Amino acid sequence: MARQDYTPHQQNIISGYYKNLDTIMLAKLQELVTELYLADTQAKRDRLWKRVEQAMTKLHIPATLAGHIMAAKDVEILAANLQDWLKKKGTASGRP
């Protein structure tokens, strides 16, 4: 595969993305929790849970905890853990 040459501006954008990947994934998980609450079909919930699993992998959530969340597939458990992760990150919003 050929190496791509990026402009300095593009390099800064790429670097910023990877530097903030954990914050981006936490925000994505927040959106997924909302979508899971609103999902009206089992097929949609299944697709959302796959995305949750991918986001937890990118966040390097311990396998035992991620496995527990995925086995239960309980949005309440996910939401509670997400709040803990946000507090640890220091980006917790003022929302309940």
Tell me what the mean pLDDT of segment 20-28 comes to. 94
Q: Which residue type, as a one-letter code, is found at position 94?
A: G
Q: What is the pLDDT of residues 42-83, one digit of tens each?
A: 999 999 999 999 999 999 999 999 999 999 999 999 999 999
Q: Which residue type, as a one-letter code, is found at position 12?
A: N
Answer yes or no: are the C-beta atoms of 29 and 55 closer than 8 Å.
Answer: yes
Does the pLDDT at position 89 exceed 80?
yes
- The angle that helices 21-38 and 75-89 make with each other, rounded to 10 degrees, is 150
The pLDDT of residue 94: 43
pTM for this model (two decimals): 0.81
Q: Which residue type, as a one-letter code, is found at position 48?
A: L
Kindly report the number of other CB atoms within 10 A of residue 11's CB atom.
Answer: 11
What is the rounded CA–CA span in Å between residue 15 and residue 10?
A: 9
Answer yes or no: are the C-beta atoms of 36 and 48 closer than 8 Å.
Answer: yes
With CA atoms as reference, report the closest residue to 27 among 96, 94, 91.
91
- The overall average pLDDT reported for the chain is 91
pLDDT band for position 1 (cuts 50, 70, 90): very low
Does the pLDDT at position 91 exceed 70?
no
